[in-house]
Amino acid sequence: MELYLDSVDFKEIEAAFKWGILSGLTTTPTFMHRHGITDIDGAIVKLSGMVPELQVEALGETVEEIVKEAHRLLTLPLKSKPVFKIPISNHGVQACRMLANEGHKVNIHLVYSLNQAYMAMIAGASYICPLAGRLHDQGQDAFALYGQVVDVIKKYGFKSKVMVSSVRHPEHVRQGMLVGAHVCTAPWSVIKILNENALTALGTSQFLEHTKLMTIHVKDIIRPHKSSVKVTETITDAMLVMTESGLGAVSVVDKDDNLKGIFTDGDLRRHLKEGGKNTLQNKMSDLTYKAAVTINADALLYDVVNLFKKHQVDSILVTENNKPIGFVDIQDLVKMGLIG
């Protein structure tokens, strides 16, 4: 079943056809009216250069008017030959036969019965277009009709294609396939969600998570901010570094960048509680430190996640050649969907 877009919104048309899977575009005067289009001919010319096949209305109250309008459209500087959409009627099927005899494609639409579809078939319509949503609004089984039209085409060897239109939701697309419809034209809002499924989303999320765990190294996600202070610096200096980096810890190093310990925002609060604001001027060399939880820069995220779970800390120090080079913060892994 071929898939068409049903729209006249140029931005969504451009976005939709970038997917490379759509066979054509259907439009209606109603769409153009809703979008405030006043230059209908200009819009048709523009659309003819944007899509593989364009289906446009050829309207009139008589056979002659319908055919004349189709011929007029052909005088426009179109990039490709359009399919003429004509509502089913006695005049419509006559105009369809005349245009088909001239070698043009016609879509007979606004079809609501098998008899109407049959008239379109023998008139040489390339497309026959019952309206699913509108039939359902009337309490009718739209897809029973689609199936009947498909069966008659097969039984008698007609060349018409059945087009599902007035699509309201993905279920209309699915039912169209099941009854053997040849084409479905749907709004962008429906096409965009045809791939959506909660189980697919869950499985994809798990695959991405596991791929990250087994392929991304710790050094690839550490923050590019200063994350250490010298032992000669003060608690105030450590507080400023933590504030600027957005981390809850800094590494404390000697003049050769050898690790002496880790100073955390918890340590800061504890010193303020015990010594007041005067403690902010204390040197980092005056403090004692617990053993730091560290990980090598070349380790995988799988390893650092396990460390977070094991030690229940907020930050883990990253080292390279036994020198501290930064931190991995637990919030970074939460944002990546690896923890929490």
Q: How many CB atoms lie within 10 A of CB 177?
A: 11
Taking CA atoms, 214 is separated from 217, 304, 319, in Å, by 8, 11, 19
Taking CA atoms, 101 is separated from 92, 121, 124, in Å, by 14, 13, 8
- List 225's β-bridge partners, or say none: none
- Evaluate whether 293 touches 317 at the Cβ level (below 8 Å): yes
Residue 320 has φ and ψ, to the nearest 5°, of -145, 125
The three-class DSSP label of residue 36 is coil
Residues 6+ apart with CB under 8 A from 147: 179, 180
Q: How many CA atoms lie within 13 A of 310 on its CB side?
A: 10
For residues 175, 179, 185, 189, the Cα torsion angle rounded to the nearest 10 degrees is 10
Q: Pick from 44, 38, 41: which is nearest to 25 by CA?
A: 44
- Evaluate whether 145 touches 118 at the Cβ level (below 8 Å): no
Give the whole-angstrom CA distance, residue 314 versus residue 146.
61
Q: Which two tokens stand for residue 119?
A: 């008239």
Single-letter residue type at 146 = Y
- Give the residue numbers marked as catalytic: 85
Taking CA atoms, 210 is separated from 90, 251, 298, in Å, by 63, 30, 17
Q: Pick from 64, 57, 54, 63: which is nearest to 28 by CA?
A: 57
Q: Which two tokens stand for residue 240?
A: 């400023």
